[in-house]
Amino acid sequence: MSNHLSDRIKNMSTSATLAMAAKARELRNEGKDIIGLSLGEPDFNIPDFIKDAAKKAIDENYSSYTPVDGYAELKTAISNKFKRDNGLDYGLNQIVVSTGAKQSLFNVAMVVLNPGDEVILPAPYWVSYSDIVKLAEGVPVEVTTQIDTDFKMTPEQLEAAITPKTRMIWFSSPCNPSGSVYSKEELEGLAEVLKNHPDIYVVSDEIYEHINFSGGHVSIAQIDGMYDRTVTVNGVSKAFAMTGWRIGYIGAPEWIAKGCTKLQGQVTSGANAIAQRAVITALEAPVSKIQYMIDKFHERRDLVLGLLGEIDGFNLNVPEGAFYVFPDISAFFGKTLNGATINNASDFSLYLLEHANVATVTGEAFGNPNCIRISYAASEEELKEAIARIKAVL
C-alpha cells in the first residue's frame, strides 16, 4: 500500500526531545550504558500525599467522563493557586484543564490563530512551540536572543519583530531550554511595547514557575494592561514530578477558555478523571511540600555549571530556573574528534551520544544552532559521570 500521510503530518517535525529520549532508550535496550540528559523530566517520585489522593479517587469511583473543561473542584483549586502564587484572579469560566500543558498550548493555537497569523517566538524557545503554531497554520517568527543577555528578548527586539500580521507572542519563564527568568522590569518593558499593539495576545508558559532560584516568579498577566490579553499556561508535570499524569491548565480571557473547551469537547472529552482528582490535592498543598525537589535542582544546577565550566569550549550563562543548561558549543564547529567532524550542534549532540554515551538535545530543535541542551533532572552521580565522560571525549 502506498503511503497517504497528510501533508500536515509530513511537514511536521518529530519532537526532538522525545526522539532523543526514545533513541537513548533503544540504545539502553541494546545493552549500552547511556546516561539520559535529554528529557526534561524530574527524576523524583511523585510525593506520597498525591499518590494517596489518586488511590482514594479510584476507590471513590471517579471513573466517569468529567466536565470537558475539568472538575469544578479542580478549577477552584487552580483559581485559588493563581490567586495565592500569582496574584491573578481567574474565575472558573476562564480556566480549562487539559491533557498536559502541551495540549493547553495546542488548544490555544487552534482557537486563536487563523492561517497566516504570525506568532513571535523568542529563540531559544521550547521545542514544540513552532510545530504547534504551524499545525494551527500560523507562522512562527523567531527572534534570536543572545547568551550575553541571558537569552531574553528585549523590548527593541520585540518592537522590530511586530508586523500587521502578528497575532501572538509565546514564551516561557523560567525558560525551557535556557533556564532564563524574566524579571518584573523586563516584563514591564515588553508590556510597554504591546501598549501600542492592542490586538496582540501573549502565551505565558509558566510550567517551571516553582523551579526558580532567583527569588520571585512574575506572571506577565500581573503587569498593567496585560491581564485581558494573556493566556497563562501552567501544569503539574515539572514541579510535582507528574509528567505521566498529563494534567495542564490555562487561565485566560473567557472567549479563549470557551474556545478551548469547545475544541476539547470534540477531541479528548476532557482530561483523565483520576489524575484530575489527584491534582486538586497537589495544588491545594503549600509549595513548602515540594521545596525539597526545588532545593535539589538548585544544588544540581551549581554542580553542573561548576563541572561544565571546567571544559574548554563550553560557553555558559547562569540559568536561574527550570532544570536545563544551554551551553554554546560553537567553539567545536569545524573540528574533527575521534574521526567525527563536528559542523553543527546536531553533530555535537550525536557525537556525545555515540562516544560518551550521554544523551543531550541539539539547540537546533529550540531555534538556536550554536547550543545544546543538557537536562540536570538526574541524580548527582549520573551528572558527575556524564560530565566526566563528556570531558574525556572532547
List residues near ligand PMP by CB under 6 A. Answer: 40, 100-102, 126, 172, 176, 205, 207, 235, 237, 243, 248
- For residue 50, the Cα-to-chain-centroid distance in whole angstroms is 22
Q: How far is the CB of 54 from ligand PMP (least distance, A)?
A: 17
Which of 211/342 has CB closer to ligand PMP? 211
CB of 100 to ligand PMP, least distance (A): 3
Given 34, 35, 39, 329, the residue binding ligand GLU (CB under 6 A) = 39
Minimum CB separation of residue 116 from ligand GLU in Å reads 26
To ligand GLU, the closest distance from the beta carbon of 10 in angstroms equals 20
Nearer to ligand PMP, 15 or 344 (CB): 15
Q: Does 40 bind ligand GLU (CB under 6 A)?
A: yes
What's phi and psi for 25, nearest 5 deg?
Answer: -60, -45
Instruction: State the Rg of the chain over Cα.
Output: 21
Phi then psi for residue 278, to 5 deg, are -65, -35
Residue whose beta carbon is closest to ligand GLU: 40
**Residue 179 is a binding residue for ligand GLU (CB under 6 A):** no
Stretch binding ligand GLU (CB under 6 A), from 38-46, 220-228, 337-345, 346-354: 38-46
CB of 305 to ligand PMP, least distance (A): 20
Identity of the residue, 131 or 320, whose beta carbon is nearer to ligand GLU in the bound complex:
131
Smallest separation (angstroms) from ligand PMP to the CB of 338: 32
Answer yes or no whether residue 15 interacts with ligand GLU by CB under 6 A.
Answer: yes
Q: In angstroms, what is the minimal distance from the CB of 67 to ligand GLU?
A: 26
Task: Give the integer Cα–Cα distance in Å for 233 and 306.
Answer: 32
Q: Which is nearer to ligand PMP, 101 or 143 (CB)?
A: 101
- Minimal CB distance residue for ligand PMP: 100
Q: Which does 18 bind (CB under 5 to 8 A by kind): ligand PMP, ligand GLU, none?
A: ligand GLU
Comparison of 15 and 344: residue with beta carbon closer to ligand GLU: 15
Report what 39 binds from ligand GLU, ligand PMP, none; CB cut-off 5-8 Å by kind: ligand GLU
For residue 131, the one-letter residue type is D
Shortest Cβ distance from residue 39 to ligand GLU (Å)?
5
- HEC secondary structure over the chain: CCCCCCHHHHCCCCCHHHHHHHHHHHHHHCCCCCEECCCCCCCCCCCHHHHHHHHHHHHCCCCCCCCCCCCHHHHHHHHHHHHHHHCCCCCHHHEEEECHHHHHHHHHHHHHCCCCCEEEEEECCCCHHHHHHHHCCCEEEEEECCHHHCCCCCHHHHHHHCCCCEEEEEEECCCCCCCCCCCHHHHHHHHHHHCCCCCCEEEEECCCCCCECCCCCCCHHHCCCCHHHEEEEEECCCCCCCHHHCCEEEECCHHHHHHHHHHHHHHCCCCCHHHHHHHHHHHHCCHHHHHHHHHHHHHHHHHHHHHHCCCCCCECCCCCECCEECCECHHHCCEEECCEEECCHHHHHHHHHHHHCEECEEHHHHCCCCEEEEECCCCHHHHHHHHHHHHHHC
Q: Which is nearer to ligand GLU, 145 or 178 (CB)?
A: 178
Residue 183 touches ligand GLU, criterion: CB under 6 A:
no
**Which one of ligand PMP, ligand GLU, none interacts with residue 235, CB within 5 to 8 A by kind?**
ligand PMP
Q: What is the largest CA-CA distance in the chain?
A: 62
Q: Using CB distances below 5 to 8 A depending on partner kind, what does residue 205 bind out of ligand PMP, ligand GLU, none?
A: ligand PMP
Residues from 16 through 35 that contact ligand GLU (CB under 6 A)? 17-18
Residues that bind ligand GLU (CB under 6 A): 15, 17-18, 39-41, 102, 127-128, 176
